[in-house]
Amino acid sequence: MLRPRDPQAHKKCFGHALLYAGSMGMAGAAVLSAKACMRSGAGLLTVCSPLYNNAILQTTVPEAMTITPKEVSLTDFSTSRFNAIGAGPGLGYGEDRARLLAILTKSAKLPMVLDADALNIIAKNPEMMEYLPQTTILTPHVGELARLTGTSFSNRTDIVTKALELALKHNVTVIVKGAPTVTVSPDGKLFINTTGNAGMATAGSGDVLTGIVLAMITQSYSGTEASRIATYIHGLAGDIAARKFSQTAMTSADITDCLPEAWLKMTMEL
């Protein structure tokens, strides 16, 4: 499933990702997601975030370019340079965020991964579900899934059943984050991830996963392929971080920092 990289390739061969993330006091979510995207093989990355986050992003993720939400709202996606979009980490909620997310879902028609506040915006504006691009990946935790489906859950079976209904109804891939994380494909197949640990139950872990998924769809993996690879490598990096720092002390930044070792281990097993 994981393809070897062409030794003759250049950066544009591995795609250009657009990440819509970050708000006042939440630049860290954008940083974690952006770093994970760059650590997972994307050729180019542009982060769309308010101008007040620009200095933080440019100093912490120098490989990434930045753009403001206003500039993105004026983009003609039929001729844009982007290959995939990620939205949600640290985004916050407001009418301006909802408007831009609506533009992205309706106009871009690019592979897309939606997480965190992007899912909460969609839960409040369910008509957006009807405009999602063909390759869309939703990455809810249980609370976000409950808001998306308008239901509550009494057990793990109910959770997976609702995720399956959501995937089939809207032709999307759903990653239900938890222990274990489960990927539900648009054709109703379930994939249970075998990596990861309780130390990953920490702020920012989902932002890291979103960045990895974004990198995969930017490199033209299908929604299901991207989700399976991303959840596995995310958990593997988490396992490496736990061995180095303990489940108690590890942070989401440690997961990102352990991605190179995780990718090395995974590619050596090809």
For the stretch 169-187, pLDDT in tens is 999 999 999 999 999 999 9
- Cα(12)–Cα(20) distance, rounded to whole angstroms? 20
Band (154; pLDDT cuts 50, 70, 90): confident
Domains and CATH numbers, the chain: 11-268 (3.40.1190.20)
**Residue 242 above 80 pLDDT?**
yes
Please tell me the predicted confidence (pLDDT) of residue 40: 99
pLDDT digits (tens, 9 = 90+) for 81-138: 999 999 999 999 999 999 999 999 999 999 999 999 999 999 999 999 999 998 999 9
**Residue 270 above 90 pLDDT?**
no
Please tell me the predicted confidence (pLDDT) of residue 268: 84
Mean pLDDT across the stretch 198-227?
99
- Cα(116)–Cα(118) distance, rounded to whole angstroms? 5
Burial of residue 249 (CB within 10 Å: 0-12, 13-18, 19+) is exposed
List, edge to edge, every strand of the sheet that includes 182-184. Answer: 65-67, 44-48, 16-20, 84-87, 112-114, 136-138, 173-176, 182-184, 190-192
Please tell me the predicted confidence (pLDDT) of residue 254: 99
> What is the overall mean pLDDT for the chain?
97
Within 13 Å, how many C-alpha atoms sit on residue 53's CB side? Answer: 27
55: CB partners within 8 A, 6+ apart? none
Please tell me the predicted confidence (pLDDT) of residue 77: 86
Please tell me the predicted confidence (pLDDT) of residue 1: 87
**Residue 29 above 70 pLDDT?**
yes
Mean pLDDT across the stretch 247-262?
99
**Is this model's pTM higher than 0.85 or not?**
yes
pLDDT digits (tens, 9 = 90+) for 40-52: 999 999 999 999 9
3-state secondary structure 96-111: HHHHHHHHHHHHHCCC
